[in-house]
Amino acid sequence: MSKILEVKDLSIAFDTYGGEVQAVRGVEFDLHEQETLAIVGESGSGKSVTAQSLMRLTPMPPGKFTSGSIMFNGENLVDKSDKQMEEIRGRDISMIFQDPMTSLNPTMTVGKQIAEGLIKHQNMSKKAAHNRGVELLKLVGIPNPETRINQYPHQYSGGMRQRAMIAIALACDPKLLIADEPTTALDVTIQAQILDLMREIQKKTGTAIILITHDLGVVANAASRVAVMYGGKIVETGNVDEIFYQPKHPYTWGLLSSMPSLDSKAEELEAIPGSPPDLKDPPKGCPFVTRCPYAMKVCENHMPEYTDVSATQKTACWLLDERAPDVEPPQSARV
Ligand code: SF4
Ligand code: MG
């Protein structure tokens, strides 16, 4: 599979009244065709800012790239003008959001919203765009697409609106689909249906997917690789099995411990105590140091380098240094 995206040393900051917020700090990852990379972390970890920056949806200013590159299709998106990005958005990279109500246009039929991109990016006639719209609604599992295509978003159920948004995002056959908490607002059954749908579509179209989520349950169902973000950094990355069965970072252990499983009761779930670091004044050392039960002296002032745990797993934690004590993940983090 060929590589379609390579992000290197990406840093993004925001100017605020209280000072500069370093939201993303030296993030690196890549993505191949047909792959789904999940970026996991709590709110404020930098995962959404990272994803939005790929579409250049981060408002700049107050945001700015302070280092790094985003190579997509051989071109650096960091250097693109807003006008050039408009061409790329919707044609090569599309995004679906948590809340379809805020991203669908309530005053336009679903059919018109699908047709917009096809007419703009592919010079399709209205008639051809309409026919393609019907096909897309069928692809995303909307019943009676010939009728539904002429309806407005408010005539759809919540799950159907999410499907419609996926249809719009897929209209121009994007190489990359970014899904930011796409199922968070949906109930569990519909959530599972939407994740199945994304997987099916990926098989048919080959689209690479970046899935932003705080929910490891979603990751297990949908992703092939995982990047765990904390305090604006990727602290651990690996394939899905590695992250679930041989996690090495204490923050990943914390996320796994707070993940509901079929046989766990809500009261057994352990949320990670404490709050994320202030990114106006990020810790000099490990970003997790204030909440980590295993923190050592060295963690305070020295950022841990990545250690290669395997050919596909990398972890930034001092516990992997040969001088550190042996620490086993807690029982609650075993899945
Ligand atoms: Fe905890 Fe230190 Fe590892 Fe950070 S580097 S996760 S503080 S042990
Ligand atoms: Mg978010």
Structural domain harbouring 187: 3-92+174-333
Q: With respect to residue 99, please indicate whether it lies within any of the assigned structural domains.
A: no
| Burial status of residue 184 (CB atoms within 10 A of its CB: 0-12, 13-18, 19 or more) | middle
Ligand 1 pocket member 254 (CB < 6 A): no
Tokens of 137: 């609604």
CATH of the domain at 185: 3.40.50.300
pLDDT tens, 44-88? 899 999 999 999 888 888 999 999 999 998 899 999 998 999 889
Count of Cβ atoms closer than 10 Å to residue 57 Cβ: 17
Tokens of 189: 């059954």
Ligand 1 pocket member 85 (CB < 6 A): no
Cα of 125 vs centre of ligand 2, distance in Å, is: 36
Give the span between the Cα atoms of 178 and 176, in whole angstroms.
7
Give the span between the Cα atoms of 248 and 105, in whole angstroms.
44
Q: With respect to residue 107, please indicate whether it lies within any of the assigned structural domains.
A: no
Cα of 289 vs centre of ligand 1, distance in Å, is: 6
Give the span between the Cα atoms of 30 and 12, in whole angstroms.
18
Ligand 1 pocket member 289 (CB < 6 A): yes
Q: Rounded to two decimals, what is the model's pTM? A: 0.92
pLDDT score recorded for residue 204: 87
Percent of the chain exceeding pLDDT 90 equals 66
Q: With respect to residue 127, please indicate whether it lies within any of the assigned structural domains.
A: no
Tokens of 212: 């932003």
Give the span between the Cα atoms of 35 and 55, in whole angstroms.
18
In DSSP terms, which residues pair with 36 in a beta bridge? 209
Confidence of residue 274 (pLDDT cuts 50, 70, 90): confident
Does the pLDDT of residue 286 top 70, yes or no? yes
Q: With respect to residue 304, please indicate whether it lies within any of the assigned structural domains.
A: yes
Probe residue for ligand 1, chosen from 228, 298, 317 as the CB with the greatest number of ligand atoms within 8 Å? 317
Does the pLDDT of residue 1 top 80, yes or no? no
Ligand 1 pocket member 306 (CB < 6 A): no
Query: Dihedral angle at the C-alpha atoms of 170, 176, 180, 184, nearest 10 degrees?
Result: 50
Shortest-distance ligand to the CA of residue 306: 1
Residue with CA nearest ligand 1 atom 4: 286
Cα of 183 vs centre of ligand 2, distance in Å, is: 12
Q: With respect to residue 68, please indicate whether it lies within any of the assigned structural domains.
A: yes
Q: Are 151 and 134 in contact (CB under 8 A)?
A: no
Q: With respect to residue 199, please indicate whether it lies within any of the assigned structural domains.
A: yes
Cα of 214 vs centre of ligand 2, distance in Å, is: 9
Q: Are 114 and 139 in contact (CB under 8 A)?
A: no
If one counts the domains in the chain, the total is 1
**What are phi and psi for residue 162, nearest 5 degrees?**
-65, -40
Cα of 52 vs centre of ligand 1, distance in Å, is: 28
Residue with CA nearest ligand 1 atom 8: 295
Q: Are strands 176-180 and 208-213 parallel, antiparallel or unpaired?
A: parallel
Sheet of strand 75-76: strand arrangement: 19-32, 3-16, 63-72, 75-76
Cα of 253 vs centre of ligand 1, distance in Å, is: 12
Q: With respect to residue 321, please indicate whether it lies within any of the assigned structural domains.
A: yes
**What are phi and psi for residue 301, nearest 5 degrees?**
-115, -5
Q: Please identify, by atom number, the ligand 1 atom nearest to the C-alpha of residue 250.
A: 6
Shortest-distance ligand to the CA of residue 329: 1
Give the span between the Cα atoms of 43 and 45, in whole angstroms.
5
pLDDT tens, 178-233? 998 888 777 777 888 888 888 888 988 899 999 999 888 889 888 999 999 999 99
More confident residue, 59 or 114: 114
pLDDT tens, 115-135? 998 998 889 999 999 999 999
Q: Tell which residue, 91, 89, 205, has the closest CA to residue 140.
A: 205
Ligand 1 pocket member 250 (CB < 6 A): yes
Cα of 181 vs centre of ligand 1, distance in Å, is: 27
Q: With respect to residue 195, please indicate whether it lies within any of the assigned structural domains.
A: yes
Give the span between the Cα atoms of 30 and 303, in whole angstroms.
22
Query: Which stretch of 11-15, 152-156, 214-218, 278-282 has the lowest confidence by average pLDDT?
Result: 214-218
